[in-house]
Copies of this chain bind each other. A is one copy, B any other.
Amino acid sequence: MESKGKKILIADDEPDILEIIQYNLSKEGYDVVTAKDGDEAVGKAKMARPDLIILDIMMPKKNGVEVCEILRAQPAFKETLILFLTALSDEGSHVRGLETGADDYVTKPISPKVLISRVNALFRRVNKEPEEKVLKIENLSIDPAKFEVMVDGKDVTLAKKEFELLYLLASRPGRVFLRNEILNQVWGNEVIVGDRTIDVHIRKIRQKLGLDCITTVKGVGYKFNL
């Protein structure tokens, strides 16, 4: 399935469960990050900035409730969706979990379909959008949210494909992108276009930016360099 642009962090110490959930949510179109204990969960949450965090409660290092409290105490995670997925089915844990600020509390075992339904329901209600990050390299700035490219503070107007192509290259400066990779990322797997198409777009970007920021690697591809 096509990506929904939503990132989910799953924290559980049982590799099997982790894998099952990851597989199913990925198939549903979510981007998934995993953690196998409480400390890793906190760390990865800060790194990956997920839209939803699925937490087991009984985990090594820090338990799920502690993770939830730590994150909820930070402004950055006040709005993040949190779902407890745990074997603890007693009333006390359930109430405590929700009162810690979680948005849902689900007990194991649970069928993947049901879990996906609940995850979808959470997103449906919140409709939280992923925050794409602004790339800034030297005097060049690329803002995907605004669809805006600036050189020396001056606005440059790029067409859609041009923008996507530049964003791809600039997202990993120095890395060479094969022509095939570029085609897959910007044009998509199904679309078939000729080889020269990429060149033409590259040329337009160079032209519009007025910068020598895209290097040709003959016989290989292109890379971004400033």
Contact = CB atoms under 8 A, between A and B. Distances in A.
A147 B104 contact: no
19 contacts: A79-B128, A91-B113, A91-B114, A94-B114, A94-B117, A95-B113, A95-B114, A98-B117, A98-B120, A99-B117, A99-B120, A103-B121, A104-B104, A125-B126, A129-B181, A145-B176, A146-B175, A147-B176, A160-B220
Interface residues of A, number: 40
A174 interface: yes
A28 interface: no
Interface string A41-58: 000000000000000000
A146 B121 contact: no
Interface in A162-181: 174-176, 181
Interface of A: 79, 91, 94-95, 98-99, 101-105, 111, 113-114, 117-118, 120-121, 124-129, 145-148, 159-160, 174-176, 181, 184, 217-220, 223
Please report whether the interface of chain A is mostly helix, strand, loop or mixed according to DSSP: mixed
Nearest to A81: B125
A139 to B, nearest CB: 20
A32 to B, nearest CB: 20
